[in-house]
Structure 1
Amino acid sequence: MTRLLLCGLNARYDHTCLAVRSLAAALDENPIHGLMTKRREWTVNDPLLVLLHRLADEDADIYAFSCYIWNRTLTETLSLELKKIKPGAVVVWGGPEAETQSEAILGRGAADFILTGEGEITLPRLLRCLTEHGRTPPQTALKALPGLIWLSPGTGQLEQNGPPAPLADGSWPFPYRDEDLKQDKEKILYYEASRGCPFGCSYCLSERDRQVRRRPLERVLQELDRLIAADVRLVKFVDRTFNLNPERARQIWRHLIARSRETGARTCFHFELGGDLLEPDDLELLSQAPSGLFQVEIGVQSAHPDVLRAVNRPSRLEVLAWQVGLLRQAGNCHIHLDLIAGLPGETFARFTESLDWVWALRPHQLQLGFLKLLPGTSLWQQARERGWRWLDVPPYEVLETDSIGFSELGRLKQIAELLERYLNVDQSCAFRFAAAHWPRPWQFLDDFSKFCDRRGLFDRALGIEERLRQLWQFVRDSRKLSDPALGQQLDLLRTDFQLMGQMSQPDWLGFWALAAGKPAQNQLRFAVRQAGWPVADSRLRFDRIRLDWDVLLRDGHVKDADFLMVYGRKESKMVLLASGPFEAGLPPYQPK
């Protein structure tokens, strides 16, 4: 019996490896006589020796790794060390990093075989060859396997067969077994309703696969029902542009909305969309989705049309901005917008304009990424010709271009960290409110970045309280806010703190219920009794803020008001139970 181990090295614990699961499913559908298959997944943060012991303990004859920029370095190290311990084992690599770096990988002895194309086709063919002929099949047998790359044992010459024909009609297998869904329902599960991309962005490896193949819609809907029934927390579609076919996208959205209403399931679905491809019917449908059902990610990349044309990614930015605005106004979809620093023709100053432009769209998350010059892409070739600098090892991140320098990219790195700490989190109202008092969002971010850098805050992790306290100190020191605005700033810091689940009550946040005088406390007790709330319930917490919370959530604007906020303890965290104008009293108590 030949033993195969499919190995996935994920970037984070809550990620899953779609590739190895798809390969395992393909082998389950078409078993190979004499082959026993196992699948294991770890993370790139696991200790090297622990991983090496785990791999050796599996005692496989064939180890197959799925290789990407986030795990390439670790995969190579593990493969080389594994060969010392198990010299008789065969190591197979697949994935984009394997294909584009095949000669170097094979030359260093990290892999015996590299597979290109769709692994559901190429891996079973190689495995049949290995189970029939052993670890060193005859060259004639190897040359009959499309998509295979290897070194000739006699000459050391690189041998590369032509690519296999792609899978037809979206016939790749469903990657999840019932036991997987039960075990991994709290992780992120990935799903592909289509493969290929018709666009030709010059920085992306997908530019080489322009043929879009779609899974039959009926099968897609059935498989999504399985994920919902399994109570999966988050499903991410990996389709490059989910709404490329608008009517097909709407059929899937309609189905998911109907299922959500019928079942009340918690499953959330994440889509990558072309923002300028959204149609009025799309927005109307998405506005009907239950809150929390959909997350949408849109790659803006730059707000400058000439920059987008330079990377073969034209976009109707005015349409994109309008559609995102309508989607944001609906308020029920989580919106994630992306920018890329280091694109050709985008100077530091022009990038700050792109950041301001995207900030104005009020995304829930703004991801500031940095250009990766992936070997094999057309932009990688252009960068070589133009004398750019980038990391020689994965992730191949740009260091310097003819438009932006290394130190400028370093400044943007700090801005990216600020966005991750303060904007791309569960609650960011105080951060956004503070930024509105600077002439430009960029100026606020730059000033705050310098404040954090002087204090060494980028050199260590910050807890929630310290993160908010540093923002408060910066805002107070800036002297840009009036006294009433400072009061509202503190109210929002306190609100963010509690809505991020924090149960403590630090003095500096000025909790109203702790500081209110006797008349205000009596007024509160009267309102609580009138509404039937259990005034003696220690799990409840009351706060008062100087702005209209409903207007802030709906429009992103601060309107002066006197609002009462009622929090409760749930699973060792604070959650907002009710809010409303103080003079209107509390809504009737509804036990939760």
Structure 2
Amino acid sequence: MKVLLSTLNSKYIHTALSLRYLKAFAEKETDVEIEIAEYTINQNINHIIGEIYRKMPDVLAFSVYIWNVSEILSISEAIKMLLPDVKIVLGGPEVSFETESLIAENSAVDIVISGEGEISFAEVLVALRGEKPLSTVLGITYRDGDCAVVNPSRTELADLSEIPDVYSGDLEEYENKIIYYESSRGCPFNCKFCLSSTIKGVRFFDIERVKRDLKRFLDAKVKQVKFIDRTFNAKKAHAMEVLRYILENDNGYTNFHFEITAHLLDDEMMELLSTLPPGLVQFEIGVQSTNSETIDAINRTTDFERLSKSVAKLRSLQNIHLHLDLIAGLPHEDYRSFEKSFNDVYSLKPEKLQLGFLKLLKGSSLRAERELHGFKFIDRAPYEVLENRYMPYSDMLRIKDIEELVEVYGNEKDFEKTVSYMIENIYRSPFRFYEALSEYWRENGHYESPHSKVVQYKLLKEFAEKKHGSDIDMMTELLRFDFVRNTRSPNVPEFLGGKSGELSKEEKYLLLRDEEMRNRYFGDVDERDYNKLHKKLHFEKFKYSMDGEPLESVYMFDYSVSERELQKSRVLDIKDELERVMRCLG
């Protein structure tokens, strides 16, 4: 029996951990040989159908999520027409609920696995070989003629060590890809919008197994390991042991992404985090809303005051990339309430503010309350809420416009000085700044096509000129500073002053050959490397200091920072050094 496990990832750099678990567990429990074939939602669907057809599987099993369910159902329909005897099995969070209707509406689907699939999938393969009836396999719904038979549910795997190691072999397939990894399953919280609330309790993989896997990732120098633990720091001792291990074995390249709950961080954890090198870890922190009525309605455990203090401490360490999440469309959150939530979170100054929109996932508690809150949504993946009793669709559209500009002008940090100046000195509110900018973009048709980075700078300058012309000199200088800081070997566009701020060749030569300056900023760099370093340096004069004062300033931009660092260049004020070397020349 030839078995093919497949899915469509959302991006090429992603990998499906679920397929590897299913393959490893089933091959341990049976003598069936299983092949994995991963595709992406960006590939032509006919190409995928052709690739699967050429493999001629007897059993075709898909891992299904909201981003790929439509394509997988279409592929299943085509494969069933071409290979009528193939058994098609679906599993994953998107198909774990409403399984009877799924089979009734999709004649190509033979079996659906609900919940955790390792044991059920292995038993399905045994049944398909005729060694046991499908009626005895817990946790599945299967086709019997025109009927769907729903078997009793299966409890979760109690001992995660029963799942074989899936990273013991060659890791070449993960080159330039993200490894998705879990050290625990389940979540201690019960947020109504999340499917994790359907699984009670938290189970952990053995810490020695986790360390072995981490060692393999570090030795292979994979680019990123993204933990999919729902709350990585739910068990403090476990989290600290993982963090200590990656610190002790840091290879200077691999970084690790964790979802954490900020209010669980204590002084001991903060002390450990303070020792991490910049860029080794990223933390994603779900805030979702700061409206207390909203927090209660979604059954979320959040102490925003404690969370804010924890985030402030993390920010002060200057070594951890922080992602904070908000969700628009939640109960009791109207447009102005969302504005407050946005401003509260933006003021914490995360590296990335991820603004999402509520999705009523199958199986979630909030989906069952759709009439209570007046949720309007299209009942097909991704089930995104269009409007509710508290926020009309017109306001949701305004927030979508704002979200796009937060991605462009906020999260990339390419405009940090300029945007901060406009928020602090003109709008006094992050939300009102993005609201005004989004209205300008909408009025001028800028949402209708993508823009290069240079054009994004130009559009922000045009907005500043038309709306706040009296400050345009200062804002142009800030834009030029942002451009140079974030552009290696910058060719400053004319609308930002062109070459007007560059130092002369003589000035650059004197600075680079000055012994005092070299010792101050590059004392640990040997002669050979220092001679190469000048190619990664840029010098620029400005009419203003970057704290807003109308004082001429001179900065050196050092682009020799590592990929893991939280900035694209190191910026040094060298006005005094330039004046000194020029005096010596005179």
- Same topology, TM > 0.5: yes
Instruction: Work out the CA distance in 1 between the residues paired with 2:481 and 2:95.
Output: 49
Q: Which amino acid aligns with 1:112?
A: D
User: How much does 1:467 deviate?
Assistant: 1.3
Q: 1:304 to 1:536 in 2, by over 3 A?
A: closer
Match of 1:228 among 200, 208, 218: 218
Instruction: Deviation per CA, 1:423-457: give whole Å up to 9, x if none.
Output: 22263413334333312111100010011112222
Change (3 A) 1:544 1:93: same
After superposition, residues 272-287 of structure 1 pair within 5 angstroms as: 272-287=259-274
Aligned with residue 417 of structure 1, among 401, 404, 409: 404
Residue 256 (str. 1) matches residue 246 (str. 2): yes
2:309 aligned partner, one-letter code: W
CA 1:82/1:503 → structure 2, altered by over 3 Å: closer, same or farther?
farther
Query: Would the aligned equivalents of 2:8 and 2:38 in 1 still touch at CA under 8 Å?
Result: yes
Task: Give the direction of change, closer, same or farther, for the CA distance of 1:223–1:586 in structure 2 (3 Å limit).
Answer: farther
* Among 440, 460, 476, the residue aligned to 2:429: 440
Question: What CA distance in whole angstroms lies between the structure 2 residues aligned with 1:459 and 1:36?
Answer: 50
Structure 1 residue 530 and structure 2 residue 530: aligned? no
Is 2:497 the partner of 1:510?
Answer: yes
Q: Secondary structure at the match of 1:45?
A: coil
Residue by residue over 1:168-202, the C-alpha shift from the partner in whole angstroms, topping out at 9 and shown as x without a partner, is 232233333533x2121311111111101121111
Map 1:311-390; keep pairs closer than 5 Å: 311-390=298-377
Which runs of 5 or more structure 1 residues have no equivalent in the other structure?
Answer: 134-139
CA distance in 2, matches of 1:502, 1:272: 36
Partner of 2:55: 58
Alpha-carbon distance between aligned partners in 2 of 1:66 and 1:121, rounded to the nearest angstrom: 15
State the alpha-carbon separation in 2 of the partners of residues 101 and 159 from structure 1.
Answer: 12
| Amino acid of the structure 1 residue aligned with 2:201 | Q
Task: Map 1:73-84 to 2 at 5 A.
Answer: 73-84=70-81
Residues 387-419 of structure 1 deviation map (CA, whole Å, 9 limit, x = unaligned): 321121100000111000111101111111111
Tell me which amino acid in the other structure corresponds to 2:8: L
Pick closer, same or farther for the CA change 1:325–1:570 going to 2, 3 Å: closer
Q: CA deviation at 1:127?
A: 0.5
The residue aligned with 1:129 is 127
CA–CA distance in structure 1, aligned partners of residues 502 and 369 of structure 2: 68
Which residue pairs with 1:271 in the alignment? 258
Change over 3 Å in CA distance of 1:303–1:575 after alignment to 2: closer
Kindly provide the amino acid, as one letter, of the partner of residue 152 in structure 2.
G
Q: Deviations over 1:54-93 (max 9, x none)?
A: 1111111111000011111111111111111111111000
Moved more, 106-115 or 124-133: 124-133
Query: 1:93 aligns to what SS in structure 2?
Result: strand
Deviation at 1:228, TM superposition (A): 0.8
Aligned pairs for 1:457-468 within 5 A: 457-468=446-457
* 1:245 shift after superposition: 1.1
Against the structure 1 CA distance between its residues 426 and 27, is the aligned structure 2 distance closer, same or farther, given a 3 Å change threshold? farther
Structure 1 position 38 matched with structure 2 position 30: no
Which residue, out of 562, 583, 586, partners 2:576? 583
What secondary structure sits across from 2:62 in the alignment?
A: strand
Moved more, 76-85 or 426-435: 426-435
Please point out which of 204, 212, 225 is paired with 1:214.
204
Q: Determine the structure 2 residue equivalent to 1:147.
A: 139
Distance 1:461 1:563 in 2: 34
Partner in structure 2 of residue 137 of structure 1: none
Deviations 1:191-227 (A, max 9, x none): 1111011211111111110121111112111211111
- What is the correspondence of 1:156-171 to structure 2 with a 5 Å cutoff? 156-171=146-161
Matches within 5 A, 1:540-551: 541-545=538-542
**How far apart in 2 are the matches of 1:558 and 1:198?**
50
How far does the alpha carbon of each residue in 1:505-550 deviate from its partner, in whole angstroms, 9 at most, with x for none? 3222224xx22599x664443223315776997775322346777x
Which of residues 399, 402, 407 in structure 1 aligns to 2:389? Answer: 402
Matched, 1:104 2:94: no
Q: What residue in structure 1 maps to residue 521 of structure 2? A: none
**For residues 550 and 283 of structure 2, what CA distance do their matches in structure 1 show?**
29
Aligned to 1:471, which of 439, 460, 468?
460
Secondary structure of the equivalent of 1:70? coil
Identical-pair percentage: 31
Q: Is the 8 A contact 2:93 2:115 kept in 1?
A: no
Residue in 1 that maps onto 2:287: 300
What is the deviation of 1:278?
Answer: 1.3
1:418 maps to a residue whose letter is L
Does the Cα contact within 8 Å between 2:489 and 2:538 map onto a contact in 1?
no
Distance (whole Å) between structure 2 residues aligned to residue 539 and residue 293 of structure 1: 23
Cα distance between partner residues in 2 of 1:495 and 1:329: 25
Partners of 1:526 and 1:496 lie apart in 2 by 22
Count of aligned residue pairs for this structure pair? 560
Say which is worse superposed, 103-112 or 120-129, in terms of deviation: 103-112
* TM-score in terms of structure 2 length: 0.89
* 2:167 is equivalent to residue 176 of structure 1: yes
1:121 touches 1:164 (CA, 8 Å); kept in 2?
Answer: no
SS in 2 for 1:485: helix
After TM superposition, give the deviation of residue 382 of structure 1 in Å. 0.7
Tell me if the contact between 2:141 and 2:150 (Cα under 8 Å) persists in the aligned partners: yes
Change (3 A) 1:253 1:568: closer
- Matched-pair contact (CA < 8 Å) for 2:536–2:560: yes
Amino acid at match of 2:389: D
Cα deviation, residue 304, structure 1: 1.2
Matches within 5 A, 1:551-590: 562-567=553-558, 576=569, 579-585=572-578
Looking at structure 2, the residues matched to 479 and 115 of structure 1 have their Cα atoms a distance apart, in angstroms, of 59
Give the AA of the match of 1:527: L
Unaligned runs of 5+ in 2: 519-529, 582-586
Give the C-alpha shift of residue 94 in structure 1.
0.3
Cα distance 1:517–1:579, how it changes in 2: closer, same or farther (>3 A)?
closer
**Secondary structure of 2:2 counterpart:** strand
CA RMSD of aligned residues (A): 2.8
Partner SS state of residue 39, structure 2: strand
Question: For residues 346 and 481 of structure 1, do their structure 2 counterparts lie closer, same or farther at Cα, with a shift above 3 Å needed?
Answer: farther
Q: What is the TM-score when the length of structure 1 is the normalising length? A: 0.88
- State the match for 2:475 in structure 1: 486
